[in-house]
Amino acid sequence: HKGEILSVEELDTIFEIIDVLPQETQRFKRSNLIKEINGLYCARFDVDLIFRKQDVEDGRKYVYQIGNE
């Protein structure tokens, strides 16, 4: 789903870490999964797949964009 924007909750659901507590552990697992996915994708296509961006509707939050950076 290139160009798709996902909330933190949507990404955590896809990664199956939505129920992980505490949130610090959830954040750590999300970060590691993104690094691993980006590492594998970058090795093949020479570009990252998942990008973290500031939410335009709420500057305190972040969203994740799939491809098209």
Reported pTM: 0.89
Cα Rg for the chain, rounded, in angstroms? 12
What is the model's pLDDT at position 1? 64
CA pseudo-torsion sign 67, 64, 7, 53: negative
Strand partners for 7? 63
The residue with tokens 């798709």 is 4
Output the tens digit of pLDDT for each of the chain's 69 residues: 678 999 999 999 999 999 999 989 999 999 999 999 999 999 999 999 999 999 999 999 999 999 976
CA pseudo-torsion sign 24, 25, 26, 28: positive
What is the model's pLDDT at position 56? 93
| Alpha carbons 56 and 25: distance in angstroms, whole number | 26
